Structure 1
């Protein structure tokens, strides 16, 4: 007997707005409620295990490839599912929040894939979350065309293929406080996944594609197994064939880097590969080992992809993926076009070197944040792939990576410069200011930044303070100066809220795991009467 939906299990704790009823239908809410009810306890248990693991690592417990899963790693025969339609050739992918203009630009960009990002690139206001779902539905129905008040038109082009949509839901650690199930907030991951899957899965199948996802912030194989079980139940509930869902996992935590094969194995019937989420990976490394002096990183700008521990991580990812028939997708090029010709030329040169390294290492594609970078990324991968859709045949048998190599962070003895401290403070403050007002993707100093940038900036300040690489008085002085500068540029910026957010996430004795968790509740949640 097929599973049954739990009728009337989810309450909406927000006032209805225009077109919200198209997404928040009773049937869609029942679908989300069924998922939330089925997986609530497992999710809570896994989040508790995250905290226990963090304590163990802080106490000096070694991080190693799991002994218990060695049979999985040693078994040469298993493979993930073959590439799904629309995900065979992924040589260039563009990322961005599912805002209306971005939706049109991304689909028209010439990229093979668009990562519609409900996580780091979206400030999760209730309006942004539901508008994002509406934009995806409109795009799939090809009714996304619109004109701005200034008269600029955005329309889908009809003479070339559109990018394949892949949705990144929010991570397991986040709640959606505008939806309530059994008196509890609904996990944000299940809201983003569930609404898109309910409304768009069959439509994408009918279009010759499928419901595809990017999975963020996973820390181990058990969290991948949870996602796999969500996919299985969702497919059963809607009568969709098993294995139709495909998911690419971002390897963006240090613990997940030690379980890449296991994560692929857990998702093998639904897997679309792994991605090198390098900015969040640095954030995870500092967050996990920031209490240790031997993991004191230099300023983030100096930690390049050629650093030994980053080379170990990225090469292991390619080797792991291709061993199992899975796509390996490279990291983000965040540069945006610059009006200064020299600056623009220098930025493109940096992007080219980065993409050349990835293509030559065996990656099957890579990310860009701006449509202007799509031709460059495509050109680089065209030069390596030619007419081939990928390079899965490059198994990289030459790669051997040890736990020590993944953790071979070069200790920095020199303190950060005042400018490096100031840059991190400035980036965090300006991103916080944008995020609080509902903007999750922000251009700062020629780069398209998202929440991962602010996370790295604030944990670096915390780590430098903890190890007395910089004096607290210096940080507080720069903080005051940069808040004054921010207020002068944006007179209506909520400076006290921004200061408070920085103090709680960068200056506290204990480091919060994510700035987004507490800041969401404090700054973005506006609950009203429940809708019956």
Structure 2
């Protein structure tokens, strides 16, 4: 029997547990439906605009600053909202998925804030999403605990020194196929935002830290305008003042980088600044310019924050944010502690230290880490070089970034067989884990999420498309990459053993990856490409 939502026009197409029903209340689902009915036409128009823009790029147009919004960029008088309570000092932010143990560990980690991620770190099974909402509600209401299979207890620390909670809903491009409103699939953005906001906004205000959000993968200021409209509607709906919500926009698309001022402007009453979503940014750079041979990049390991187009992006983001009085947040340290290898672990931790030192000296107000053990390293760096809560006073008026700087691919490096095999391996292993419901997994001593897997498969596509050659002179063809794919799958079969391999999703991952590395078909997002494989409908005939 399907779940009775008790809301006209709202249908849930999968099983719902009693605990999940506490989140999927009629009142909360009515709010989801209200957002859908009000704003779904705008979302669809913006998604079509993305497709139209991609066609223009494919035909030779290059990204540039918008002439029609020049007045916003050049007007030096306007400012966004002042930092909200709990967000004035964000020197170290930890990020990760919304499973119960992670939520407790992140809140207890000593970081200033915790970004609970429904997007790149969470595979969107219905259970992951709704159970994650329950975990966050329990956290905000200070009743969260967890007992591990080995009996170990996890609880929120009692000294009050827990991280400020910030929630990242899914991006505008992602759907929630388990939920229909008036027969239409609901946006993953509306679903994630609405459930968290409805259940937690008032309690957040009561404890003085929120409700706060990160908004991902926007490609234009018009997409920020839609978020701002949603925020105003949400606040009016439950009767709290406009401007209560604060949102940090991730600049993780090359098109978004050309509209930083405009994105802050659209969100200005709700803006908490911008973040350098650097892994997705590299992915977007490749993806948007993928038909242009002059933008072919070398091995992923050669693309660093000192690479010209990345350096320009960082400098412009810091200058833009501080000009408007909001935080400029640094990027993710993907390293994780390496056990049983002291030398390798020291080298990895040194990379984290140097990365965070570069960020704080550049003028960032804070940074991201993915593992609790990295919080102390990042905190020490920022404490030493940023004794005050932030660096909004550093205006970076020395910075002058033009369009050519954001597109400068003068990158030192090469395409290598090792780089190709690493990309194939990371893509396979991440996609396999995602198909099992895991969105954030350690691979080759790095914490990989959807963004880093996207770089890997996009580079393979790009190299095949433009008939690149390795440093050794080997042409990178579709046939060559498919051969490498077979070989890497064989290696995994041997390392996993027969039983482990059969129990894995490697063959399903291989099937999908094989369609993405020939230089022909290119899925907009891996998460969209794989999504139907984890959709679980109560009635398969109801599949949309």
Please classify the TM superposition score into its range, dividing by the shorter chain length: over 0.9
Q: Which residue pairs with 1:494 in the alignment?
A: 505
Greater relative CO (CA pairs within 8 A, separation 6+) = 1
Q: For 2:238 and 2:514, how far apart are their aligned partners in 1?
A: 46
Q: How far is the alpha carbon of 1:453 from its aligned partner? A: 1.1
Q: For 1:69 and 1:358, how far apart are their aligned partners in 2?
A: 29
Q: For 1:12 and 1:413, how far apart are their aligned partners in 2?
A: 50
Q: Which residue pairs with 1:505 in the alignment?
A: 516
Contact 2:465–2:519, Cα closer than 8 Å, also in 1: no
Query: Which deviations, in whole Å up to 9, do the C-alpha atoms of 1:270-292 show, x marking residues without a partner?
Result: 00000000000000000011111
Q: How far is the alpha carbon of 1:485 from its aligned partner? A: 2.4
Contact 1:85–1:208, Cα closer than 8 Å, also in 2: yes
Contact 2:336–2:445, Cα closer than 8 Å, also in 1: yes
Q: How far is the alpha carbon of 1:494 from its aligned partner? A: 2.9
Q: For 1:156 and 1:495, how far apart are their aligned partners in 2?
A: 37
SS in 2 for 1:19: helix
Unaligned stretches of 5+ residues in structure 2: 1-5, 469-475
Q: For 1:484 and 1:18, how far apart are their aligned partners in 2?
A: 43
Query: Which deviations, in whole Å up to 9, do the C-alpha atoms of 1:240-296 show, x marking residues without a partner?
Result: 110000000000000000000000000000000000000000000000111111100
Query: Which deviations, in whole Å up to 9, do the C-alpha atoms of 1:291-334 show, x marking residues without a partner?
Result: 11110000111001011111100000000000000100000001
SS in 2 for 1:505: coil
Q: How does 1:304-383 map to 2 (within 5 A)?
A: 304-339=304-339, 340-383=341-384
SS in 2 for 1:171: coil
SS in 2 for 1:468: coil
Q: For 2:487 and 2:273, how far apart are their aligned partners in 1?
A: 45
Contact 1:293–1:411, Cα closer than 8 Å, also in 2: no
Q: How far is the alpha carbon of 1:187 from its aligned partner? A: 0.1
Q: For 1:90 and 1:412, how far apart are their aligned partners in 2?
A: 33
Q: How far is the alpha carbon of 1:8 from its aligned partner? A: 2.5
Q: For 1:298 and 1:35, how far apart are their aligned partners in 2?
A: 43
Q: How far is the alpha carbon of 1:484 from its aligned partner? A: 2.0
What count of residue pairs does the alignment treat as equivalent?
Answer: 522
Q: Which residue pairs with 2:531 in the alignment?
A: 520
Unaligned stretches of 5+ residues in structure 1: 1-5
Q: How far is the alpha carbon of 1:404 from its aligned partner? A: 0.3
Q: How far is the alpha carbon of 1:412 from its aligned partner? A: 7.5
RMSD, aligned α-carbons: 1.3
Q: How does 1:120-199 map to 2 (within 5 A)?
A: 120-199=120-199
Q: Which residue pairs with 2:49 in the alignment?
A: 49
Contact 1:297–1:412, Cα closer than 8 Å, also in 2: no
Query: Which deviations, in whole Å up to 9, do the C-alpha atoms of 1:103-134 show, x marking residues without a partner?
Result: 01000000001000000000000010011101
Q: For 2:95 and 2:480, how far apart are their aligned partners in 1?
A: 36
Contact 1:169–1:192, Cα closer than 8 Å, also in 2: yes
Q: How far is the alpha carbon of 1:471 from its aligned partner? A: 2.3
Q: How does 1:181-260 map to 2 (within 5 A)?
A: 181-260=181-260
Q: For 1:293 and 1:213, how far apart are their aligned partners in 2?
A: 37
Q: Which residue pairs with 2:426 in the alignment?
A: 427
SS in 1 for 2:516: helix
SS in 1 for 2:144: coil
Q: Does 1:271 align with 2:277?
A: no
The 3 A distance-change label for structure 1 pair 413 and 151 is closer
Q: How far is the alpha carbon of 1:508 from its aligned partner? A: 5.7
Q: How far is the alpha carbon of 1:504 from its aligned partner? A: 2.5
Contact 1:272–1:327, Cα closer than 8 Å, also in 2: yes
Q: For 1:141 and 1:96, how far apart are their aligned partners in 2?
A: 20
Contact 1:169–1:215, Cα closer than 8 Å, also in 2: yes
Q: How does 1:433-512 map to 2 (within 5 A)?
A: 433-469=432-468, 470-488=476-494, 489=496, 490-491=500-501, 492-507=503-518, 509-512=520-523
Contact 1:441–1:448, Cα closer than 8 Å, also in 2: yes
Q: For 1:424 and 1:34, how far apart are their aligned partners in 2?
A: 42
Q: Which residue pairs with 1:61 in the alignment?
A: 61
Q: Which residue pairs with 2:3 in the alignment?
A: none
Q: How far is the alpha carbon of 1:18 from its aligned partner? A: 3.8
Contact 1:322–1:328, Cα closer than 8 Å, also in 2: yes
SS in 1 for 2:400: coil
Q: For 2:78 and 2:291, how far apart are their aligned partners in 1?
A: 39
Contact 2:478–2:517, Cα closer than 8 Å, also in 1: no
SS in 1 for 2:250: strand
**TM-score (norm. length: structure 2):** 0.94
